[in-house]
Chains A and B, each alone.
Chain A
Amino acid sequence: MELGPAGSGGREPGRLREGLRVYRLVAGAWIRSTMAYRASFVMTAFGNFASTALDFVAILLMFTRVDGLAGWSLPDVAFLYGLSATSFGLADLAVGSVEGLGRRVRDGTLDLLFLRPAPVLAQLAADRFALRRLGRITQGLLVLGWALAAVDVAWTPLKVLLMPVMVVSGGVIFGAVFVGGSAFQFAAQDASEVQNAFTYGGVTLLQYPPTVFARELVRGVTFVLPLAFVDWVPASYVLGRPLPLDLPAWTAFLPPLVAAVCCALAGLAWRAGVRSYRSTGS
């Protein structure tokens, strides 16, 4: 949310509630408008489903040539894929629109959001709320469902509980990357390509086992930009595999904490971005 007065700490809960209220209002208007053209919605949602499904087709084709990917079987990789695609799909649906910030700064339409009595981030995230992104989520959930049926896992209550926690935390982590990356666009309006490298690049990365990649990359994705907590770390635990970078087993339960920290950092970045925009108006 954007900056209030310096001493606005006490008003934060109110601002958050107001932000969510406005988000629902604006997103609701877009959903109603999308639903006015049902046929068109079905087509674009299917298009979204099909185009994102091609990623999985690529993995399937790969497995017609090999039996395993760095020791991971097809169901294992499908498990990663399903988690990563579903988490990302949720984030993209909820806050994917913030990507358009740079364009709005350039054409001056960002200013209009400052004129309304509502947090700018909420307005921006809900703008052009694209229900068609359900296509990617559906696709991710289907692959995840198949993977759950096919993987060889000794299920414990803890592992079952970890499943929804992973998906939601993963969505929140990706959402924080979207918001944090967009905040960077306040400074560099053409940085959306860089942001795409972390969001779309991240989701693709996480669809493959960590053992495929160089240790330095895995380290970066674990400790610097903690995307590894979307699926690599907790999924390795569920599948009974050694955790990447020989992390201890308890780190598999860190995703909610990592998500919270990511949100806090993204929030700070967003505030800094808004503050610099309001002082420079670039």
Chain B
Amino acid sequence: MVDGGTVGEGTPDGADAVNAAADGGRTAGAGAGGGFIELDRVEKVFAVRRRTGLLRSERREVRAVDALSFTVARGEMVGYIGPNGAGKSTTVKMLTGILTPSGGRLRVAGIDPARERTRLAQRIGVVFGQRTTLWWDLPLIDSYRLMHRMYRIPRARYRENLDRCVELLELGDLLDVPVRQLSLGQRMRGDIAAALLHDPEVLYLDEPTIGLDVVSKARVREFLRDLNAERGTTVLLTTHDLQDIEQVCSRVMVIDHGRLVYDGPLAGLHEAGGSERVLVVDLERELPPIEAPPARVVRVEGPRQWLAFPAAQSAAPLVARIAAEHPLVDLSVREPDIEAVIARMYAATAPVTPP
């Protein structure tokens, strides 16, 4: 393992400002309890070989995670977002002990995941939206029985947790169905239950609502909120769905190019990213562009007009004003695209500070 001293070399000045920003978020969120998950200048460098000729290949280093520092307190619910290839999965893989960091210091519940993977496994739960941790060809209940014995969960505890999950996640009718025959939403609920049977102190979820219908998404989110409220389980959620964060997480961390570019509440993210929501209004007839500052019309198509307004601002007064002054037929609000917010945030040269 590389020690902390060599890691800092070659880090551009901007990184310190970003880390300072991260520290600000940490003290706000962690309270007095200290960090349950602690990353100190963690980095992961991959050597990528690319074939350039029949026998020749070119070796290139890719810095997937670069001097990443953050702390998550016990019981926090944190959203971890960023564009594809930003380093989210790499971070989660290091947190769970799959990958060994190239440098820096990383602790989860005081354990170094790379060195004590199996001891850590007893204390964490992991759910991957795209892959199942269940045994594909076995009935759901068989996977749970295997977990029960593999994790050495005391019988009473196992029964209690299983019964609770079966009830809350509505798995009763699915227990005897082979996992491969479950729908995506059913499988996801089955996976979440499997990750919780051994009472993990922290739950990592990677895209837990991807591909789910609205009802299933709502059910998963509600379950996570309850879990956190009742058991105090720490939750780290990576997602592309801003609503997951909005409805579940009190804190959001944005990573891009392997670095933390934002750490703080979600509302601050919109402010920091200068993002806008769009109000789409259908009027009775074609009219000149509506004037309602700070909203501005960005597009007009017949009787339909698109108005952009700051995402941090409530839509209610704007809607009330337009409804009062114009013949309104219908309206809808479009949430800002998280990718766009992050792209804008990354493009901004100045380091971002949370409010």
- B-binding residues in A (CB < 8 A): 4-5, 22, 25-26, 29-30, 32-33, 107-109, 111-112, 114-119, 128, 278-281
Contacts and interface: CB of A to CB of B under 8 A. Distances in A.
Chain B interface residue count: which class? 20 to 34
The 6 closest A-B pairs by CB, nearest first: A117-B121, A114-B98, A117-B118, A5-B115, A278-B100, A115-B126
A5 B116 CA distance: 7
B117 interface: yes
Contact of A281 (B93, B126, B135, B139): B93
Contact of B135 (A29, A115, A278): A29
A33 B142 contact: yes
Contact of B122 (A109, A117, A279): A117
B146 A33 contact: no
Interface string B27-60: 0000000000000000000110000000000000
Contacts of A33: 137-139, 142
A4 B121 CA distance: 14
Q: Is the interface of A mostly helix, strand, loop or mixed?
A: helix
A117 B139 contact: no
Contacts of A29: 135, 138, 142, 145-146
B258 to A, nearest CB: 14
A279 B145 contact: no
B100 A279 contact: yes
Nearest to B44: A281
Contacts of A4: 115
B99 to A, nearest CB: 5
B71 interface: no
Contacts of A117: 118-119, 121-122, 150-151
Given A33-B138, A114-B97, A278-B99, A25 B146 contact: yes
A279 B142 contact: no
Given A115-B133, A116-B121, A128-B137, A278 B150 contact: no
B128 A112 contact: yes
Nearest to B138: A33
5 contacts: A25-B150, A108-B131, A109-B131, A115-B96, A115-B133
A109 B134 CA distance: 11
A269 to B, nearest CB: 19
B299 interface: no
Given A116-B133, A280-B47, 4 more contacts: A22-B150, A117-B150, A281-B90, A281-B93
Interface of B: 46-47, 90, 93, 96-100, 102, 114-119, 121-122, 124, 126, 128, 131-133, 135, 137-139, 142, 145-146, 149-151
A116 B102 CA distance: 23
B149 A112 contact: no
Contacts of A119: 118
Contacts of B114: 278
B98 A115 contact: yes
Contacts of B99: 278-279, 281
Contacts of B97: 114
A117 B148 CA distance: 12
Nearest to B116: A5
Contact of B142 (A32, A118, A128, A280): A32
Most buried by A among B97, B102, B118: B118
Nearest to A24: B149
Contacts of B128: 112
B1 to A, nearest CB: 10
Contacts of B96: 114-115
B124 to A, nearest CB: 8
A25 B124 CA distance: 21
B150 A116 contact: yes
Contacts of A22: 150
A278 B151 contact: no
A26 B134 CA distance: 12
Nearest to A282: B46
Contacts of A278: 98-100, 114
Contacts of B119: 117
Contacts of B139: 33
Contacts of B47: 280
Given A117-B150, A280-B46, A280-B47, A111 B93 contact: yes
A155 to B, nearest CB: 46
Contacts of A32: 142
A118 B116 CA distance: 11
A21 to B, nearest CB: 8
A188 to B, nearest CB: 12
A10 to B, nearest CB: 14
Contacts of B145: 29
A27 to B, nearest CB: 11
B66 to A, nearest CB: 16
